[in-house]
Chain A
Amino acid sequence: MGITELLRENENKDLLRFLTCGSVDDGKSTMIGRLLHDSKQIYDDHLSTLEKDSKKVGSAGEAIDFSLLLDGLKAEREQGITIDVAYRYFSTPKRKFIIADCPGHAQYTRNMATGASTANLAVVLIDARHGVVEQTKRHSFIASLLDIGHIVVAVNKMDLVDYSEEVYDKIRSDYEDFASRLQVRNIHFIPMSALMGDNIVEQSPKMPWYMGTPLLEYLQTVHIASDRNLIDMRFPVQYVLRQDMSFRGFCGTVASGILRPGSEVRVLPSGKRTTIKSIHTFEGCVDEAYPPMAVTIATEDEVDISRGDMLVAPNNSPRVSQSFDAAVVWMSEEDLDLERHYRIKHCSTEAQAEVTDLVYRFNVNTIGRENTNTLKLNEIGRLRIETSRPLAFDPYRRNRATGNFILIDTLSNATVAAGMILDRSTEKDLSEKTKVSTNIREQVSRVSHEERTARLGQSPATVWLTGLPKSGKSTIAYGLERHLFDQNLMVHVLDGENLRLGLSENLGFSALDRSEHIRRAASVAKMCNDLGLITIVALVSPYETDRCHARTIVGAETFFEVHVSAPIEVCEERDNDGLYLAAKNGEIERFTGVSAPYEHPVKPALKINSADTPVDQAVQSIVDLLTEKGILR
């Protein structure tokens, strides 16, 4: 074969990601080492280091300790343990492989879930002397939970049972019995001896009764192409690309289904419809995009689409809801706390999340269900979760890409859990809300924006003042209102406290209620802007996600976020109502700054340090901002 053909062949080979599971003595590292070694994937200098290390710290006597090849961290080599998932790469002329090697020990569930999340296939090792043990069941259950479509059961150490066909058959039937309770599409069995190299790369002459192929051959040929979902069109928008006035594209990775120019799509959660105009890549436009291609979509109409939205086929929608049930793997040393808020990341959306119900915990060893009031590290449970924004999702089993999420601790920023959305609908399903109803069409006014602007002689805008309680938002808001009103402008204040006396009187201070409060305030501001008014909103609005949502509702061009900032001590000092004191004594719950978080704006249009800025100066700085942005003349 000439070099050109060889290159062509190598360019076109596909990718298989697999993970290996097995407990410490099942021979997992030996199997990977053997796979790499026998397919000549270990460089000479690595091999000589390995031989040296094996003699020094190895646990295989004089022989090569392949586990040292995989344990990359100093502490791991010294202590002879594996701390973290390690990724190994090798390729044959047919395929490139990524192996996620997941260590056993205490962290097992967490590590295996991590490795399994991207894997097409799992190799479950069984020691032929011990047969199907609890560990085997545990690993297989997690593989099934993460919906790995293919499991290879590697019955290892056959050399220690005299390569007995009976032993193998017994293990096989035991495993099949157990696996009938799991949801795995394809289970394949291979008897082997990793230590001796039997049925790893070469067919073993010692087990002539085995008619199948060795492990490597199986990995090279197992059919994975049909595992991806090409039916449900889902395109989560990751990034909005504005090159200049002439081009606005929506970047993202196709999660499932096939996108084509001319296809009608619905934008979720807004429910608006548009048509794909073109699909762009660096090389030019393409006729089709399918998973996992990363492309840029241009639409026919100027509809409002931003990061976190999802484009879907109009007649094939995911569920849109703020509530769902999920199987969750807990990954943090800190237990699940039902009283706390977490941040959820799902596709390109982030929101606040509350765990409203811990339905049960899985007993991974018996695959039974148990009652519990928390989840600890490495435990798996079924949770009911509510989010501050609607998410567009499918059940994980139907669509891996749109059915998964992670939970993040809002204080430590750590990833604390991985979740897989379950199929059963929850009681409080919001997908039927008018928002995504197909029966509602947006009506268009016959009075144009320009006409209104001309009538009032002013450009509308929303000035959004955010900050801690008592930071001076309302004072500045009413000062600004007076100032602008005296300039003959039509202006008004939407004060958070006042709204809670009326429009939002049925809302409390949970993350979800705050989020709804903000949505209402932003919607009113938007209406007032549509009328041509200048609206000043004074609202604690502690969460970045909510303020982003408000910006989306109002429209980015007319939304000006102003961070009214003062040290908490100053706010406390100004607090004549004794709110801070009451919050500190626990009389008021979820008080921002004391018992609820305040997230500082990432990119405010203006930041006012109210502790050392007089009100008239603060007002002037906002006037300057509005003038600079062309709102005021």
Chain B
Amino acid sequence: MSGYHLSHLDELEAEAIHIMREVVAEFENPVMLYSVGKDSSCMVRLARKAFAPGKLPFPLLHIDTGYKFAEMYEFRDEFVKSIGAELIVGGNTQAQADGANPFDLGTAKCCGLLKTKGLLDALKDGKYDAAFGGARRDEEKSRAKERVYSFRDKFGHWDPKNQRPELWNLYNGQHNKGENIRVFPLSNWTELDVWLYIYKEDIPIVPMYFAKERPMVVRDQQLIPAEGPMRLREGEKPEMVSCRFRTLGCSPCTGAVRSEADTLEKVIEEIMTARQSERITRIIDHDRDGSMELKKREGYF
């Protein structure tokens, strides 16, 4: 009977598809958060699978901060076009115009303005009652407590101590007007699962995930890209380093890792033997103990 058994990737895929269909069937106006990163790429592929041979029954929403890498914008536009999806770009344009930046405001405040506020505004403007996100429970401790259907009050806030229990594959989507849910179809995926899936499915991803010589600044054991709006500190000088990005965020706040892995196979090999977690390169997570949880409570993904 071994023929009737799914591999772990197939099982995770089926679970994600089930979740997406459930949301589309039960919610009036869903949207899919698209961050341009590898998890988003996976999620979009899963969504296309869920509704094939039909089209995506919801638009993609990119919360732009104006600080993403040039390669990300390029990839985003190309990718969205190639799959024929509708892309909405949202964000806190007011704060962007006011010149919000992490150098003067600090990462926590900048993130709160450009990402959290930008996201909440965009969700409100679009009257979305469900928003898919590519977050995974293995990324960070507070995310390990996240539900697949993560309920948000009308301020977009998360109350981790008062979550609905989720049993079997039955999801409770009941909500009042003005409230909405965040949906995490990749909840049970790990970083390695995502990479294996990208490999198996041949999913296009931003080239920044692959190693190449880039101008970088070494700061507090982090490799900061010397491109875009960055401020050099005294004594700092960009140098060429062979590196790649494990996660993609805003250019001033996303570090790279030293790496020679310039192919998918090599990247996966590196992930399998990695001794550091993937979010170590995300400066925002280390502000203080529980910083991700605090941001999530306020509405961050």
- Residues in chain A within 8 A of chain B (CB atoms): 3-4, 6-7, 10-15, 43-46, 70-75, 77, 83-89, 91, 95-96, 98, 110-111, 113-114, 117-118, 225-226, 228, 230, 238-239, 241-243, 247, 249, 251-253, 258, 280-282, 290, 292-294, 296, 307, 331, 343, 345-346, 348, 400-401, 404-406, 408, 413-415, 418, 602-603
Contacts and interface: CB of A to CB of B under 8 A. Distances in A.
A386 to B, nearest CB: 19
Contacts of B190: 89, 91, 96
Contacts of B89: none
Interface stretch (B5-13, B95-103, B104-112, B206-214): B5-13
Given A74-B142, A238-B22, A282-B49, 14 more contacts: A10-B196, A10-B272, A11-B7, A72-B142, A72-B144, A73-B160, A84-B163, A258-B4, A296-B52, A406-B172, A413-B175, A415-B164, A415-B172, A603-B28
Contact of B6 (A117, A293, A418): A293
Interface string B125-143: 0000000000001101111
B52 A281 contact: yes
Contacts of B167: 113-114, 117-118, 404, 406, 415, 418
A98 B188 contact: yes
Contacts of A252: 21
A243 B172 contact: no
A533 B65 CA distance: 58
A253 B14 contact: yes
A97 B119 CA distance: 33
Interface stretch (B73-81, B226-234, B275-283): B275-283
B172 A408 contact: yes
A84 B146 CA distance: 10
Contacts of B138: 88-89
A251 B12 CA distance: 17
B52 A44 contact: no
Chain B interface size, as a band, is 35 or more
A238 to B, nearest CB: 5
Given A11-B7, A292-B15, A73 B145 contact: yes
A343 B174 contact: yes
Contacts of B268: 3, 7
Contact of B7 (A13, A111, A280, A415): A13
Given A3-B268, A75-B161, A96-B193, A280 B172 contact: no
A252 B170 CA distance: 13
Contact of A7 (B8, B140, B170, B265): B265
17 contacts: A10-B192, A43-B280, A45-B277, A72-B141, A72-B142, A72-B143, A96-B8, A96-B190, A228-B4, A243-B53, A243-B55, A249-B53, A253-B18, A292-B14, A405-B170, A415-B165, A415-B172
Nearest to A40: B275
A14 B7 contact: yes
B139 to A, nearest CB: 10
A119 B6 CA distance: 16
A400 B175 CA distance: 27
A144 B299 CA distance: 39
B289 interface: yes
For the residues of A in contact with B, the DSSP-based class is mixed
Nearest to B9: A11
Contacts of A84: 145, 160-161, 163
Given A96-B8, A404-B170, A46 B14 contact: no
A165 B240 CA distance: 62
A225 to B, nearest CB: 5
B18 A238 contact: yes
A541 B57 CA distance: 30
Given A44-B276, A72-B145, A239-B24, A11 B196 contact: yes
B223 to A, nearest CB: 15
B269 interface: yes
A15 B52 contact: no
A418 B165 contact: yes
B188 A3 contact: no
9 tightest Cβ-Cβ pairs between the two chains A and B: A72-B141, A74-B290, A294-B17, A282-B49, A15-B8, A413-B174, A117-B167, A43-B277, A282-B52
B170 A406 contact: yes
A243 B8 CA distance: 30
A111 B17 CA distance: 25
Nearest to B48: A282
A138 B190 CA distance: 32
Contact of B144 (A43, A87, A281): A87
B54 interface: yes
A45 B53 contact: no
Contacts of A238: 18, 21-22, 25
Interface string B10-51: 111111011001101100100000000000000000001111
Contact of B196 (A7, A114, A249, A251): A7
Contacts of A10: 192, 196, 272
Contact of B269 (A3, A71, A230): A3
Nearest to A418: B167
A364 B132 CA distance: 39
Nearest to A307: B25
Most buried by A among B17, B187, B289: B17
Nearest to B5: A225
B77 to A, nearest CB: 23
B174 A87 contact: no
A230 B293 CA distance: 42
Contacts of B55: 243
Nearest to B22: A238
